[in-house]
Amino acid sequence: MTGPFGTDVSETILASISDGVVAFDNDWRFVYLNTGAERLWNRKAEGLIGETIFDALRVDETNPFHTAYLASKKSGEPAVFVAYSENFEAWHEVRGYPHPLGYTIFIRDVTDERAAHVARLDTQRNLDLARSINQRIFDTSQDLILVVDRHGTFLRVSPSSASIIGIPPEAMVGRSAADFIVAEDLESTRNEMRLARRGRRIRHFDCRYVHRNGRQVPLAWMGVWSEPEQQHFFIGRDMTERMAAEERLRHAQRLESVGQLTGGIAHDFNNLLAIIMGSIDLMFDVPELPTEAAERGRAALHAAQRGAELTRRLLAFARKQPLKPQVIDANTLVGNLTGLLSRTLGQHIEVGFTGAAYIWPVYIDAANLESAITNLAVNARDAMPDGGRLMIETRNEVLDSDYARDNPGALPGEYVAVIVSDTGSGMPPEVLNRIFEPFFTTKEAGKGTGLGLSMVFGFVKQSGGHIRAYSEVGHGTTMRLYLPRAKDATAREAPPETVMRDEARKNERVLVVEDNDAIRQLVLIQLTRLGYRTLEANDAAEALEILDRGEPVDLLFTDIVMPGGMSGHALAQEATKRRPDLKVLFTSGFPGALLAEVEGLGETDLILTKPYRTQELARKIREILDA
């Protein structure tokens, strides 16, 4: 009688050796286990024969044995590897051999000799190559890479720490990670390190670090413990922009949900108002209606008409109002409206209008567009009780896929932008995030319904456009209405522009000065993708410190309105005193023409107005650097 290995003698020999020998059929079912395999796995053969390896040993798709066996069987080549077995908490050297009847593996426990075994496998050439590759990855990574000992002390820190948390590597090496981690995340991070050492597998977790300027930087970490080196290796990805994009998406979804709800309510309420108003009209048809009843009826009718106006605004927000779009010239409409606004907003408000020389036609409901701009102008007037300036601009804009990805609800395409800016009190972020919600208002009771901006939002969205708001407390607000370009209409076309990649030249470096952390990090990402090397500063004083250190800088890209007592204009004057050849580009949420007048900048070409797209940033930087 013969067994799976040909003869009883063969099986007797196999049963006597210390190494494990296991045979499977082509369906990966156990057909044989020798005594060594039973000992290594602490399982009896009779409990495994007939079972598949995947069921019996709970081997899932991520298990290295699973991957190696299947690949070996498919290719017909033997599989030889050393791996840690989670099931048996041991390191095994495995040799697997495919054959027509199935698959046979030989297993040896190498837990005690693994370190020496790894050393024998690695040649010096492979080690040098690996070190070279790892160093290049370490030096150029946009993620934060840390090498940490078992006590949490930094042994190595990648150069990206300077851009991600504002602290250079040399200021972190030798210090404890506890000095940089947000206090609330410290214990959970220590627990992840303990689990990594115990399980010797990759850990995924979130942990916030404290930026040099004090803000919290959310980081998504992947970490692994190396037993031979007795070190942790961590890679952290900055999630700031992703979390901001997710919040914008949630906000857009919330507005969409509220719009659906208010649209349904407005529709039903209109039906009720129709009944009320119709009944009142019928009452007025009664001959010789008593005077008191007639007066009450007129009051009720007036209230119902006001209710109808409120529902019209709700339907506008819900994008369900009846529209009569037509092809119009935005310059003509806005120019005529500006003259009216100059007479109605009051003498304490100065109104200015700058129309693009070549403007595309737009397909829009003209009356609703006039109403939307008037709404924005009235809000701007209310934000400037002591007087100020209202600027309206028009320009052709192309929104690309990057803009659409970062702004939920926006679609790539060609638009005419109507930009309404004021020098008023501005809004904090918590107010700015809610301005388009119906019934939300910051005005005192009785002075606003909270439906003005929601109506503008709904009208623009229903027309296939997009709306974007930018505001800073104490420095005014800018509202951008992106109106879809009319495709089938004759219009004056702008002269063709040369298509440029607008990428960086070799080793060009830009110093970005911006006090808004989220905007600054976004600009750094944009510039890095364009090929520029970057430096960052939170304010003018920090920027001058960087220049005084002798850091090479080709372009100073600075916000104009900043805290700390020194504006971007004043910073540029001080910076060019130190470095006469330094190029400067300004940015702000205010219109360029207005800032040039207020700050005395002279040339509006030196100003990039927020919000801007990557393409605009790239083109403007090249204009300045190549001038």
Structure letter (DSSP) for residue 214 = S
Check residue 417 and give its pLDDT. 93
Check residue 232 and give its pLDDT. 87
Residue 554: pLDDT above 70?
yes
At 80, is the pLDDT very low, low, confident or very high (cuts 50, 70, 90)?
Answer: confident
| Percent above pLDDT 70 for the chain | 75
Residue range 8-117, CATH number: 3.30.450.20
CA distance 549 to 537: 13
Flag the least confident range among 117-121, 339-343, 499-503. 499-503
At 129, is the pLDDT very low, low, confident or very high (cuts 50, 70, 90)?
Answer: low
Asked if 68 contacts 74 with a C-beta cutoff of 8 angstroms, the reply is no
Numbers of helices and strands, H then E, in the chain? 21, 22
Check residue 584 and give its pLDDT. 92
- β-partners of residue 485 are 362
| Percent above pLDDT 90 for the chain | 14
Helical H runs in 81-185? 114-121, 124-140, 161-164
Amino acid at 319: R
Same fold, 243-317 and 509-626: no
Check residue 441 and give its pLDDT. 64
Check residue 509 and give its pLDDT. 92
Backbone angles phi, psi at 592, to 5 degrees: -60, -40
Check residue 359 and give its pLDDT. 92
Mean pLDDT of 326-344: 86
User: Domain residue spans in the chain?
Assistant: 8-117, 137-238, 243-317, 326-484, 509-626
Residue range 137-238, CATH number: 3.30.450.20
Check residue 282 and give its pLDDT. 65
Give 305 or 435, the one with higher predicted confidence.
435
- Three-state SS for 573? helix
Backbone angles phi, psi at 261, to 5 degrees: -65, -50
Check residue 281 and give its pLDDT. 65
CA distance 437 to 413: 26
Q: Which residues contact 231 (CB under 8 A, 6 or more apart)?
A: 147, 148, 149, 150, 155, 225
Residue where the block lists tokens 């006597």: 16
Amino acid at 446: G
Give 570 or 456, the one with higher predicted confidence.
570
Q: Which residues contact 74 (CB under 8 A, 6 or more apart)?
A: none
Check residue 612 and give its pLDDT. 64
CA distance 501 to 531: 11
Give 549 or 375, the one with higher predicted confidence.
549
Flag the least confident range among 127-131, 378-382, 537-541. 127-131
Question: Measured on CA atoms in the order 45, 47, 52, 53, is the torsion positive or negative?
Answer: negative
List, for residues 95-119, the tens digit of each pLDDT value: 889 988 889 988 888 877 776 655 6
Check residue 492 and give its pLDDT. 45
Check residue 323 and give its pLDDT. 65
Residue 497: pLDDT above 50?
no
Give 461 or 588, the one with higher predicted confidence.
461
Check residue 605 and give its pLDDT. 60
Mean pLDDT of 281-304: 75
Flag the least confident range among 254-258, 510-514, 612-616. 254-258
Residue 192: pLDDT above 90?
no
Asked if 258 contacts 278 with a C-beta cutoff of 8 angstroms, the reply is no
Q: Which two tokens stand for residue 425?
A: 């009190």
CA distance 392 to 388: 14
Check residue 107 and give its pLDDT. 87
Strand order in the sheet with 466-471: 349-354, 388-399, 413-422, 477-484, 466-471
Angle at which helix 614-626 crosses helix 517-529, to 10 degrees, equals 70
Mean pLDDT of 489-516: 66
Check residue 367 and give its pLDDT. 78
Asked if 265 contacts 296 with a C-beta cutoff of 8 angstroms, the reply is no
Give 524 or 562, the one with higher predicted confidence.
524
Give CA angle at 366 (612, 609), nearest 5°.
15
Q: Which two tokens stand for residue 613?
A: 């797209």
Amino acid at 330: A
In CATH terms, 326-484 corresponds, of 1.10.1240.10, 3.40.50.11540, 3.30.565.10, 3.30.200.20, to 3.30.565.10
User: Rounded to two decimals, what is the model's pTM?
Assistant: 0.46
Check residue 343 and give its pLDDT. 77
Asked if the bond preceding 611 is cis, omega within 30° of 0, the reply is yes
Check residue 556 and give its pLDDT. 95
At 318, is the pLDDT very low, low, confident or very high (cuts 50, 70, 90)?
Answer: very low
Mean pLDDT of 89-95: 82
585: how many CB neighbours lie within 10 A of its CB?
A: 21
- β-partners of residue 323 are none
CA distance 164 to 391: 37
Residue 483: pLDDT above 90?
yes
Residue 316: pLDDT above 80?
no
Structure letter (DSSP) for residue 176 = B
The DSSP secondary structure of 418-438, one letter per residue, reads EEEEE-S----HHHHTTTTST
Compute the mean pLDDT over every residue in the chain, rounded to the nearest whole number.
78
* Dihedral-angle region of residue 281 (phi above 0 means left; psi in -120 to 50 means alpha; beta otherwise): alpha
Check residue 591 and give its pLDDT. 45
Query: Contacts by 201-204 with C-beta closer than 8 Å and gap 24+?
Result: 201/84, 201/86
List, for residues 211-257, the tens digit of each pLDDT value: 988 888 888 888 888 888 888 888 888 887 777 766 666 665 565 55
Residue range 509-626, CATH number: 3.40.50.2300
Mean pLDDT of 400-422: 86
At 310, is the pLDDT very low, low, confident or very high (cuts 50, 70, 90)?
Answer: low
CATH fold for domain 243-317: Helix Hairpins (1.10.287)
Count the residues in the chain: 627
Give 267 or 371, the one with higher predicted confidence.
371
CA distance 89 to 199: 9
